[in-house]
Every structure is written in structure tokens, then in C-alpha cells.
Structure 1
Amino acid sequence: MTNKPQLSLEDISRLGEKFYTEKLREKLEKEHMGKYAVIDVEKGKYYIDADRLVAVEKARKESGDILFYIIQIGSVQNPGMNFNAKKYAWNF
């Protein structure tokens, strides 16, 4: 069984920003301004909630303990990745 290598932080950031900008921004800014989008860049799936930690938990239920690209919808100045430790997520 071969394990797929995990993407680097730089790859997650680049792919997440591209996915959000090209495929999600217009739609999400109309419907979910100010909420958080948590993006699984490998699957092309995203999860939305007004609470960042709730959005991360939604994503973790389907994708497991991986790194996600997180952005507050409408604000391209605060993207990040999460580090999962138990039930918490931190952005940098």
C-alpha cells in the first residue's frame, strides 16, 4: 500500500488561494460574506460556517486530520492553514 505524500504548506496555500479565487469567491461572497470557508485542496471540497472551528470540524469529519486552507469569505488578507491537535485548529 502506497501512502500519498502530503502537500507542502506552500502548495496548500497556493492551491487554496487559486481554488477560492477562481471557483468560489464570486458565489460565496454573495451568499456567505464574513463566514469562514475551509478548503480541502486535494479533494476540491469546501465547508462553510460562521464559526471557524465549527467549519474545521465539518471538514475533519469528511477529510480527516489533514491541513486545510482557511479563509474568511470576503477577506483575502487573512488566509491560513490549520494544524489539528485534538479538537483545535490554529491559523498562521
Structure 2
Amino acid sequence: MNTTIKPLIPVNTQEIARKGEEIYQKELKEKLEKEYFGKFVAIEVEYGEYFLGETQMEADIKAKNKYPGKIFYTVKIGFPAVITMSRNYSPVSYEGIF
């Protein structure tokens, strides 16, 4: 039986928010606001890839399907007050314990 639990990797959520906002402002805002105003975009900050959705959940699910376990910067396009970060909530592996 494998009883190894994978440790959590510390994540600086402030840095993710900073990078996500920078990517949105410099690379995505002008392009997305013209066609997708009011929709949501989840940004994977390491690669700059983004995922669109009608809802925050839809954008986050698309992002999590490609990058499981990552944290995403999500914003409602055209509404800077609606900003969140989300991640897949499976921080440790219990494989082989139960």
C-alpha cells in the first residue's frame, strides 16, 4: 500500500492576481471587450492562455479541464470589480490510503 501524501506547493495568490491583471490589461482587454463584453475570462498566468464562459463557473471549468490543480485569475469582461481566483480543490493525494 502506497501511503505517500504529495505535499502542497506554496502559492502566492497576490502574484497570480498581479500577473493575471497585467495579462488582462495589456493583452486581452481591448480584444475581448469588443466581442465578449459581460462574459467571463479565466486566465492561466504562467502561459497566458485564457478560457471564456457565459458564467464564471463555465470559464473556470474550461480552464481546470486543461490545467487541473492550477489557480486561475478570472474577471468579468468589462467589469473590473468582479475579479476572483479559483483552483481545483484537490490539494493532496490520498491514493492508496483508503
Count residues with an aligned counterpart. Answer: 82
Which structure would you say has the larger RCO, counting Cα contacts within 8 Å and 6 or more residues apart? 2
Correspondent of 2:70 among 66, 72, 77 = 66
Q: Please, what TM-score do these two structures have when normalized by structure 2?
A: 0.77
- The 4+ residue runs of structure 1 with deviation greater than 6 A are none
Q: Distance in 1 between matches of 2:11 and 2:23?
A: 15
Give the corresponding residue for 1:28: 32
Task: Flag the structure with larger Rg.
Answer: 2
Give the alignment's TM-score, normalised by structure 1.
0.82
Matched-pair identity in % = 34
What is the alpha-carbon root mean square deviation over aligned residues?
A: 1.5
Shift in Å at residue 79 of structure 1? 1.1
Q: Give unmatched runs, 5+ long, in structure 2.
A: 1-8, 91-98
Q: Tell me the distance in 2 between the aligned counterparts of 1:32 and 1:58.
A: 16
Deviation at 1:54, TM superposition (A): 1.2
Structure 1: gaps (5+ residues): 87-92
Q: What is residue 43 of structure 1 aligned with on the other side? A: 47
SS at match of 2:82: coil
